[in-house]
């Protein structure tokens, strides 16, 4: 074998090995988490863990229900706020804004998407917490410290905006001009074109953008931890303090070495995070396929 | 041009530039109603730009400057504060490649109808069938009107786009090299349809194949480097061109 062919051979094999190693990470992490969680499953049933509402590791109580509720509320409300606003903003940037405005806005949004989450957390701590405490909660006649589910949701929504906007703008831009012309030339207005043609043609990409936004919101740890309140009680209102799965791990990891059972419990929380993200990815692929099948252009 | 023919579209000193690059210069043309007018010329000479200026589709692109007048039925459509969708509705567009909308075959044809008319379901259904019959697609698709339009062949898609265009009852059909992406058989079907359409519509056809222009055109406009070199009735244009550049183009010396 001459040297060129040898290099080609080695290069190919090296890339293969690296790729296999990276893929193996997936399985190693999964099995590590599973293995470490076994201890807690030996002593507590899955139903008890998922549906019991007392989390009190010192007293051998590992009910995740309040934290699961907190996670669903925080992530769900964040997306309810973020998705419509982001999509409307993306439509404006991609379809309506003059070229100059577009050129100025886009880099800002891309930078926002890359700002470390702790910065968002700090800003939320300084502005959002007092705002929710002094302005929003009094509207509803509720007293709160400001460290609550709603504050965490708004913080996450703000963090998710730039991701969804950026991806949606890109997907709107990828739609051929001629498809717009096809709609406009039968006398449709711009908004009719956006609503009936652009949204449909870009549905698969918009759906992936929302899923990515979900991933970011669901897994976000530090910014949530700074404002959510960190109380493991089932929240009674959106102004109650709460806890999320990811935030729980970061709050508790310094204590977790105190008992093997506590450590195992946190590993199990990590396993839940892992599995949910995995399921959502699979679900995402499934939804994308359906959307593509239905509306492929 | 025969005297009895009404002028549907007329431009006066039309100038168009993209990013300060001049694409069309001092265009003065007249397009007769209910005839087939071919706009010919080598690629890059501004044919498509001219065509899309007629229904104000140019302005959806960035950095376009349009000056001059475009008179449709004697009214300047470049005046400010006009209802642009209404202008566009009068002019159907058939593009180079078919672009079916991301919806079912039936919804593609019904798309414009639902926007403009308050016809009830049955009437829409009837119009859809009528338009699909007009373009010779009905028998091929009547059993699968609810399938996505993207499942049709390219030739069928192009006919579907034509059906979509005529469903809103335009006065003009603008065609931008509508056969260039099609196989010869499908291209022939479209050509036949265009000849049929000119009884009821003013057809403007951009084409870069001279033979096609010779086969179908009543009236010809020859563009070269963004300027009108010659225009006139097809028989005079092809048999007795006046301009030396037209002669050169017709004989294949410039392309």
Q: Shortest CA distance to A266 belongs to which of A277, A255, A278?
A: A255
Query: pLDDT band at B4, cuts 50/70/90?
Result: low
Stretch B134-159: mean pLDDT: 93
Cβ–Cβ pairs < 8 A, chains A and B:
84
Q: Could you read off the pLDDT of A201-260 as tens digits, one per residue?
A: 998 889 889 998 999 999 999 999 999 999 999 999 999 999 999 999 999 888 777 788
A96 Cβ partners below 8 Å, 6+ apart? A190
Contacts of A265 (CB under 8 A, 6+ apart): A40, A57, A62, A256
| Residue A187 in contact with partner chain B when CB distance is under 8 A | yes
What share of chain A in percent tops pLDDT 70? 99
Cβ <8 Å between B165 and A296: no
CB contact under 8 A, A181 and B60: yes
Give every CB contact of residue B38 below 8 A, 6+ residues apart in sequence.
B205, B206, B207, B212, B213, B216, B217, B219, B220, B221, B234
Given CB atoms, is B51 within the 8 Å cutoff of chain A?
Answer: no
pLDDT tens, residue by residue, A163-217: 999 999 999 999 999 999 999 999 999 999 999 999 999 988 898 899 989 999 9
Contacts of A207 in chain B (CB under 8 A): none
CATH code for the structural domain at A49-295:
1.10.3720.10
Per CATH, the number for B7-250 is 3.40.50.300
pLDDT at A85 over 60: yes
Q: Does B172 touch chain A (CB under 8 A)?
A: no
Nearest CA among A196, A129, A207 for reference residue A167: A207
What's the CA gap between B136 and B104, in Å, rounded?
Answer: 18
* Residues facing residue B38 across a β-bridge: B205, B220
DSSP assigned state of A95: I
Query: Average per-residue pLDDT in chain B?
Result: 92
**Angle (nearest 5°) at CA A218 between A213 and A222:** 105
pLDDT for the residue numbered B133: 94
Q: pLDDT digit string (tens) for B50-102?
A: 999 999 999 888 889 999 999 999 999 999 899 999 999 999 999 999 999 99
- What local confidence, expressed as pLDDT, does residue A253 receive? 83
ipTM reported for the complex, 2 dp: 0.91
Q: Any idea where the domains of chain A sit in the sequence?
A: 3-43, 49-295
The residues pairing with B69 across neighbouring beta strands, listed in sequence order, are: B12
């Amino acid at each position: 074998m001459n040297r060129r062919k040898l290099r080609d051979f080695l290069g190919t094999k090296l890339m293969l090995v690296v790729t296999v190693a990276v893929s193996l990470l997936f399985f190693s992490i999964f099995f590590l988490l599973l293995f470490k969680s076994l201890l807690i499953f030996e002593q507590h049933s899955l139903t008890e863990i998922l549906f019991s509402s007392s989390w009190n590791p010192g007293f051998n109580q590992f009910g995740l229900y309040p934290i699961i509720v907190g996670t669903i509320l925080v992530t769900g409300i964040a997306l309810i706020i973020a998705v419509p606003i982001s999509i409307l903003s993306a439509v404006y940037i991609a379809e309506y804004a003059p070229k100059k405005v577009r050129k100025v806005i886009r880099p800002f949004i891309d930078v926002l998407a890359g700002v470390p989450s702790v910065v968002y957390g700090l800003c939320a701590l300084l502005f959002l917490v007092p705002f929710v405490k002094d302005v929003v909660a009094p509207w509803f006649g509720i007293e709160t410290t400001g460290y609550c589910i709603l504050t965490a949701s708004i913080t996450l929504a703000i963090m998710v905006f730039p991701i969804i906007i950026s991806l949606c703008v890109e997907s709107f831009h990828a739609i051929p001009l001629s498809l717009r012309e096809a709609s406009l030339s039968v006398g449709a207005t711009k908004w009719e074109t956006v609503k009936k043609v652009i949204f449909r043609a870009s549905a698969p990409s918009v759906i992936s953008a929302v899923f990515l936004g979900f991933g970011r919101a669901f897994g976000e740890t530090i910014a949530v931890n700074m404002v959510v309140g960190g109380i493991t009680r089932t929240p009674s209102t959106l102004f109650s303090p709460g806890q999320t799965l990811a935030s729980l791990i970061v709050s508790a990891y310094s204590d977790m070495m105190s008992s093997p059972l506590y450590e195992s419990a946190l590993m199990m929380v990590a396993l839940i995070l892992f599995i949910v993200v995995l399921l959502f990815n699979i679900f995402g692929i499934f939804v994308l396929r359906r959307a593509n099948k239905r509306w492929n252009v | 041009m025969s005297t009895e023919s009404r002028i549907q579209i007329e431009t006066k000193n039309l100038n168009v530039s993209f990013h300060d690059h001049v694409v069309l210069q001092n265009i003065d043309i007249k397009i007769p109603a209910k005839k087939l007018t071919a706009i010919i010329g080598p690629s890059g000479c501004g044919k498509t730009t001219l065509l899309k200026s007629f229904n104000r589709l140019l302005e959806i692109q960035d950095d376009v400057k349009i000056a001059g007048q475009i008179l449709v039925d004697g009214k300047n459509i470049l005046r400010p504060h006009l209802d642009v969708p209404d202008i566009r509705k009068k002019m159907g567009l058939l593009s180079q490649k078919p672009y079916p909308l991301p919806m079912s075959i039936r919804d593609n044809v019904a798309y414009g109808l639902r926007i403009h008319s308050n016809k009830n379901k049955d009437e829409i259904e009837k119009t859809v069938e009528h338009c699909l019959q007009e373009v010779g697609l009905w028998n091929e698709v009547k059993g699968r009107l609810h399938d996505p339009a993207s499942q049709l062949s390219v030739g069928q898609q192009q006919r579907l786009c034509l059906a979509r265009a005529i469903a809103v009852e335009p006065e003009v059909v603008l065609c931008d090299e509508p056969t260039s992406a099609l196989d010869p058989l499908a291209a022939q079907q479209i050509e036949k349809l265009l000849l049929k359409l000119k009884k009821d519509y003013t057809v403007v056809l951009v084409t870069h194949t001279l033979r096609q222009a010779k086969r179908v055109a009543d009236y010809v406009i020859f563009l070269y480097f963004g300027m009108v070199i010659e225009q006139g009735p097809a028989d005079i244009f092809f048999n007795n061109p006046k301009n030396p550049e037209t002669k050169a183009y017709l004989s294949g010396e410039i392309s």
